[in-house]
Amino acid sequence: MNIQEKIRAMVKHIQDKTDEEIEKIYLDAQDRSEEIKENYIDQAERRFNGIVLLAKNEADRNLRKQTARSELEAGKMITDARVDILKSAMAGIKERAENMISTGRYPIVFEQIVLEALETLDEKNAVVKTNREDREVIKTVLKSVKKKLKNTAVILSGENADIKGGIIAESEDGRFKVLNTIAEKIEENREKIAVELFDRLDKIIKTS
C-alpha cells in the first residue's frame, strides 16, 4: 500500500470514528433531552399538584371557616329567638296571672302565697303588708291562715306595700323580710317554664 492509499485509509478511519462519535453524541444528547424533558414534566406535575393541593387546602379552610361562622350565626339566631319566645311567654303568663286577681280563684291563690311567705319567714311573731286593693282579701285570708299556723302570731300592717298580687312578711323587729307575689312565683319558675316551653316547641318542630 502506497502512501496515498494509507492517507485515504487514515482519513476514512478518522471520518468513520468521527461519524461514530457524532452519532454517539447525538444519541447521548437525545437521551439527555428526553431525561430533561421527563424531569421537567415530572417537576411541572409535582408543582401543579402542589398548587392544586394548596388551593384545595385553602378552599377547605375557607369552607370550614364559613361553616363555623354560619353555625355560629345560626346558633345566635336560635338563641335570640328562644330569648324572645321566653320573654313573650313570661309576659303572657304574668298578664294572665295578674288578670286572675279579679276572679273568684284569687283568694285561694292569695292564701297559698301568704302561707308560703310565713312558713319561709319562720318567725313566732310576723307582720304582713300588702297593697291597698288586697287589704280586704287578706283580712279574710288571715282568719284561715291563723288556724293553720297556730304557732305564729300574725299582724296586718296598716302600711300599704308597693306590690301587686302578694304580700311582704316581716319579722316583728323588721330584720327579716320575705317578698312573695304572683310575679315572684312566676320568676322563681322561669327555668322550669323555659324547659317545658322549649320541649313542646321541639316536639312541634319535629312532627311538622
For the segment 172-190, what is each residue's pLDDT rounded down to a tens digit? 998 999 999 988 888 888 8
Tell me the average pLDDT across 140-151: 90
User: CA 193, CA 160: separation in Å to the nearest integer?
Assistant: 31
> Helices 106-121 and 135-148 sit at what angle, rounded to 10 degrees?
60
Q: Is the pLDDT of residue 170 over 90?
A: yes
Position 194 confidence tier, pLDDT thresholds 50, 70, 90: confident
Q: Is 41 exposed, middle or buried (0-12, 13-18, 19+ CB in 10 A)?
A: exposed
Mean pLDDT, rounded, of the chain: 81
Tell me the average pLDDT across 194-201: 83
pLDDT at residue number 162: 92
**Entry field: residues in the chain:** 208
Query: What are the extents of the domains in the chain?
Result: 1-102, 104-190
Bridge partners of 96, per DSSP, are: none
User: CA 94, CA 76: separation in Å to the nearest integer?
Assistant: 27
Q: Fill in the amino acid letter for 40.
A: Y
User: Would you identify the CATH topology of the domain 104-190?
Assistant: hypothetical protein PF0899 fold (3.30.2320)
Position 208 confidence tier, pLDDT thresholds 50, 70, 90: low
Q: Fill in the amino acid letter for 85.
A: I
pLDDT at residue number 168: 95
User: CA 97, CA 164: separation in Å to the nearest integer?
Assistant: 11
Contact indicator for 153, 123 with CB cutoff of 8 Å: no
